[in-house]
Structures are given as structure tokens and as C-alpha cells.
Amino acid sequence: MKMSKSMISTLREVPADAVIASHQNMLRSGMIRKLGNGMYAYLPFGLQAFRKVENIIREEMNAIGSLEIKPSVVVPGELWKESGRWETMGNSMLRPKNRLGQDLVVSPTAEEAVTALVREDLSSYKQLPINVYQINTKFRDEIRPRYGVMRGREFTMKDAYSFHATKEGLDETYLDFEKAYFRIFKRLGLTVIPVRADSGAMGGSGSEEFMVESPVGDDTLIICPDCDYAANTEKASCATDYFLDESCAKTATTLQPQEVATPNVFSIDDMVSFFNMSNKNFIKALVYVAYNSSLDLTKAPGCEKLEREGSSTEKTYPVSYFTVLIRADIEVNEAKLAAILKASDVELANDEDIQRISGAPHGFVGPIGLNTCPIIADYSVMQQQENGTYSINMHDAIAGAGKEGYHVKHVEPGRDFTPWATADLRTVIAGDKCPQCGGTFYSKKGNELGHIFKLGYKYTESMNVTFLDETGKNKTPIMGCYGIGVDRALASIIEEHHDENGIIWPMSVAPYQVSLIPIKYTGEMQEICDKLAAEMQKVGIEFLLDDRNERPGVKFKDCDLLGIPIRIVIGAKNLPNVELKQRANNETELIPVTDVTQKTLQIIQDAISNLNS
């Protein structure tokens, strides 16, 4: 390919709205151009790299026996109503109507579409497992799209879905995908951190994310330096730290609860000053509102009059309230709370609802006598064991009294109140202890590239997918889901492989492997360039010949910006040798013209072999 015909248009200045390296370099190198907020078009140079990422993913999916399909991007809204996510997915889902007034969905994800396709043909256990994937466009109406294709509204993902007769079959395929993901990211030149993760709106149980470190990452990773524990902060757990402060009581108190007037004491800091005690002695009570909880609350305190809504297979409580108890020095992890409540979202209740539910304003809510909503205690307070007994992790505590201006001393969990449920609801932070080895956690920012889920029966049950087992009985298949963001993977490659001059492409995804740069594209230099181009084309080397009438410095700067791995400079002073320079290590050497094609081919083969190993 000659540069003059390549449609590559480089920018000298960094666009004002581009704040991260990938966004800056993708715009400056002419890979992408913005069409609208969160919507980008790939130009030829960018599409070359995009297709290489896509093809590596495709090769590894095919290698584990996953079969490619191509569902439509726009799907009937009825499928989403069947699954129950029409009501719960939120405003990020684009819901147009056709000319007949029928509801449609511009797919933000493809569980419903693929489940409907499998349902049409599945009849017998002999057809299982089914393992299919798509590489397709999606649309999510992000509130604040940013960072170029790293978080856009329209994007491309690889989604794979597997259907199994048994949980053991799902486990086996899940591991196949996990191994395939490590191979994919290795071939892309990416350093990934596998972490435990929250399944979120996707549902399911087992879940693992593949993250890349990023200073502007959307996720916080909690990592143990002493073992293999790593988790997204939405999922991370830590060792129970029973008594981190000598002032904390270590045994149950025999003293009865005692109300204390606490005028102008509202915050935890106010309580610390007033009682002259560590914040680890206080139980914090927070009233939350949950949306679309699918828990069975028929026997939960204060929920007797709540009514469930939705489809026959996926009924939820549109709005329900819960009080969370947690030690005052730690924070509630709302992603964990939403998962425990099987809710689409949770948030702190407003002042009016807090007063109505608890009989007290925020800051004075307490657990004793509270029966207007279910109480969920974090493990920092107490933990219910399998035999129904409780492990009490706070003693002789102080909590809100349930009326304004008062707190209660000598609160003993398990004696003075019993929660409806206990759960791990704390936000784990750097400095907490690892539950596996006791090491001290550290944290870093990261972005998610891939996510694998054990979805279970969430979609197959709600959408009535069945098969006949060996005995002729109707069974529901269990399901797995495995995604990779193609655009985000491409952007992450640039985030990891760049310098102040531009991109440094790994050989496997470089749009072109070689840049042929004549000092002047005339006379003998032109003849040699054309000869090298013909040789390289014959052996399969992908090259870009810079035939522009530009100064050498301009050509070199563009070559560095574009990130092409090998630069071959043809100059009259060096002939019959040419200069070969590798972008990744800046090594430069003079090579005879007669040897340069084979030398270049060997460098390319070695680089790709190393990435594939």
C-alpha cells in the first residue's frame, strides 16, 4: 500500500476532548473519527488493526469449538419482556418502535436473542452442549460516554453463549473459555489481571473479569501481593477483622441498652467526639431503597403489603426498603447489596422515606425494635452460620435509638436485635486483609476487557427453554456467557503500548508490519523501494510505502505516530545498504538491500511466535 493512496490523515495537535493515550493516538493517527457523542467511525488504518483483533478472537473461539453466528442487532422487544429485563435494564437500552408500533430493542447485549434462537431448535439432550458466539455491534445509551472507543455508545463485542444439560458440563466449558481468554490477550500483547467479579444485570453466579491496569479505569481492583487473590471492588471480600482497636469490647456485655441524649450529634465523627470512642464501636444503620428486587419478601418484616409485578416467570418488587447495619468505620458496597437483593439497582433512601421507615432521621436510625422493613447485617456486625446460630463480631456497641437526638449504648447484636439476613456487604479497600492468606491488600485502577459468567437458569427458565433428557423428562438447560469488548481491547493495546511519539503496535495487530520510507521517492531510491515492495508482497509482509513528497522528518514522525513495528529507510548515502529500525526497541542497523526482506520476515515471524507462545 502506498501512503498517497492510504487515506491516512495524521493530526499534529492533540484534540481537546481526548484525555487518554488511546483516544489521542487513535485520533492523531487517523484510525478513527468522531461522528457523534460516543459514536466513532473506523477509517481504513484503524479498521486494519480492528480486524486483526477481531480475527485473533475468532481463531481462539473456533479453536475451542465455539460456532460463529450472526443475530440481528435490532431484536423484538417481546424477547426482553419474556426475560424480564424490559422493565429492569434501565435507560441505557434504546427502545425504538417500528411502523406498526411494535417495540424493538437495539441490542445492548444478546442473551435474549441467542436464547430465543437456541429455543427454536433444541429438543433433546443429544444436541447439548451448544456453544455459539457472535462478533457484533451493540448500543448502550451511556449517560457520559468518554475516552473514545474505550467507553462509547456504539461498540463491537464478541459474545459467546453455551447451553448444557448439567452444571458439570458448564464448568468444563467455562474453563475452556478462561484458557482461551488468556491466549487471546497474550496474542494481543496485553497484560491482563483476572479478578473475581460481580455479575450485575447479567445475572448468574460464577463470574470472572479480565482487567488491564489503567489510571483512568472504571474499576478498582483489590489485589493480594502474597497469593493469587484479585477481585473487582464490587466483589472483593476480606478476612473478618474482629477487633482492630483495643477500645472495642471483646465479649458480650451484660449491661442493658441505655438511651443517651445526643443533641447535635449527626455524623460518625460527631459520635466519636461525643462518646470519646473509636468509630469501630458504632453500628451504622442505613435505609436503602431497592428497585426490581426478585427476592421472595412475603415473610419479610414490613413487606406484607408489597406486590410483585412483571412477567409470569420474572416477578419483582418495583420498590422495596431495607436497613443495612455495618460497622461505622467501613462503607456499604452497593453492588454487593444489589446482588444480595437480586435488584436492578439500590440507593440510599431520601429523608422522607428514612423518617417513615425508621421513625428517625438519618444519623439516628437504629436496629432495636425496627420492624417496618427487613434488616440486613454486614458480617462486620454479625454472621449467621449454617446451623442458624450467629457469630457476633461486635459487642457492647453504640447505635441510633430510632428517635431524633438519641443514641443507645450497650447494644448487643443477637440479644437486642436479630437481622432478617446477614451478608458480606462491606467495600474492601487497600489495607484490608486477604481472606485466603492474610496478606495486606493493595489497589489499582483497571478497565474490563472480558467477562465470563455462569448464568445458570436465569434466561432459559424465564424464556421457557427445555429439552428431553435420557429418561424422556423435560429439563431446562444451564447457561454460560462469555464476552470480550473488541473496541476496548484495541484501545487497551494502545494504552499499554505507546510512548510520547505515538503508538507501538505489537506485531500481531499492527495495521502494517513495515514502513518503507525513501528519503526521496525518485530515481534509484524509488527503484529499490518498488523492488523491496514486490519482494515483501510475495512473502506476505504487510507494508506501507511512504511515497509522499514530504521531508524525511515528517515521514519519520508519522511512522512513529502510526506505530508501525519496522521502519526501513532507503537513502542514497547508505546504498547499497538500507537502515532498519524497530519501533519497540529503537534498535537501528544497516542491512544490505539483498538481505533486508528475509531479515524483516524473520523479525516478524519471531515476534508473532513469541506472542503466540
Of the ranges 224-233, 416-425, 533-542, which one carries the lowest mean pLDDT score?
224-233
**pLDDT tens-place string over residues 144-166:** 898 999 989 999 999 999 999 99
Residues 465, 521: one domain?
Answer: no
Query: Is 435 domain-assigned?
Result: no
Cell representation of residue 477? 438447560
Given 394, 423, 452, which residue is the final one in a domain? 423
Is 70 exceeded by the pLDDT of residue 205? Answer: no
CB 268 within 8 A of CB 328: yes
Query: Is 432 domain-assigned?
Result: no
Q: Read off the amino acid at residue 132.
A: V
Domain that includes residue 542, residue range: 512-612
CB 395 within 8 A of CB 432: no
Q: What pLDDT does residue 312 have?
A: 54
Of the ranges 106-115, 156-165, 219-228, 472-481, which one carries the lowest mean pLDDT score?
219-228
Q: What pLDDT does residue 234 have?
A: 85
Cell representation of residue 368? 432495636
Residues 407, 545: one domain?
Answer: no
Query: Is 501 domain-assigned?
Result: no
Residues 167, 44: one domain?
Answer: yes
Residue 302 Cα distances to 294, 356, 372, angstroms:
16, 12, 4
Residues 85, 227: one domain?
Answer: yes
Q: Please list the alpha-helical segments (H only) found in 122-166.
A: none
Q: What are the two backbone dihedrals, phi and then psi, of residue 526, each rounded to the nearest 5 degrees?
A: -65, -45
When pLDDT is averaged across residues 566-580 and rounded to a whole number, the result is 95
CB 87 within 8 A of CB 462: no
Q: What pLDDT does residue 539 have?
A: 96
The helix, strand and coil proportions of the chain, stated in percent and rounded to the nearest 5, come to: 30, 30, 40
Residues 459, 565: one domain?
Answer: no
**pLDDT tens-place string over residues 386-415:** 999 999 999 999 999 999 999 999 999 999
CATH of the domain at 569: 3.40.50.800
pTM for this prediction: 0.83
Count CA atoms closer than 13 A to 377's CA, side-chain side. Answer: 24
Query: Is 228 domain-assigned?
Result: yes
The secondary structure of residue 149, as a DSSP letter, is G
Residues 474, 383: one domain?
Answer: no
Query: Taking the CA atoms of the chain, what radius of gyration do you get in angstroms?
Result: 30
State the greatest distance between any 2 C-alpha atoms of the chain, in Å, as a whole number: 100
Question: Number of structural domains, the chain?
Answer: 3
Residue 148 Cα distances to 37, 153, 324, 489, 496, angstroms:
9, 10, 38, 12, 16
Residues 402, 339: one domain?
Answer: yes
CATH of the domain at 20: 3.30.930.10
Band of pLDDT at residue 35, cut at 50, 70 and 90: very high
Q: What pLDDT does residue 242 have?
A: 60
Residues 527, 606: one domain?
Answer: yes
Residue 587 Cα distances to 58, 198, 516, 538, 577, angstroms:
33, 45, 16, 26, 16
Is 50 exceeded by the pLDDT of residue 203? Answer: no
Is 90 exceeded by the pLDDT of residue 207? Answer: no
517 DSSP β-pair partners = 569
When pLDDT is averaged across residues 539-568 and rounded to a whole number, the result is 96
Number of other CB atoms surrounding residue 376 within 10 Å? 22
Query: Is 428 domain-assigned?
Result: no
Residues 214, 276: one domain?
Answer: no
Residues 530, 405: one domain?
Answer: no
CATH of the domain at 408: 3.90.960.10
CB 150 within 8 A of CB 142: no
Distance in angstroms (rounded) separating the CA atoms of residues 437 and 549:
63
Residues 201, 100: one domain?
Answer: yes
Residues 6+ apart with CB under 8 A from 599: 580, 591
Q: What pLDDT does residue 289 have?
A: 97
Distance in angstroms (rounded) separating the CA atoms of residues 120 and 505:
44
Residues 26, 143: one domain?
Answer: yes
Query: Is 250 domain-assigned?
Result: no
CB 325 within 8 A of CB 284: yes
Cell representation of residue 228? 493469587
Residues 6+ apart with CB under 8 A from 94: 105, 106, 108, 139, 141
Query: Is 30 domain-assigned?
Result: yes
Query: Is 247 domain-assigned?
Result: no
CB 301 within 8 A of CB 372: yes
Nearest to 479 by CA among 496, 466, 488, 495: 466
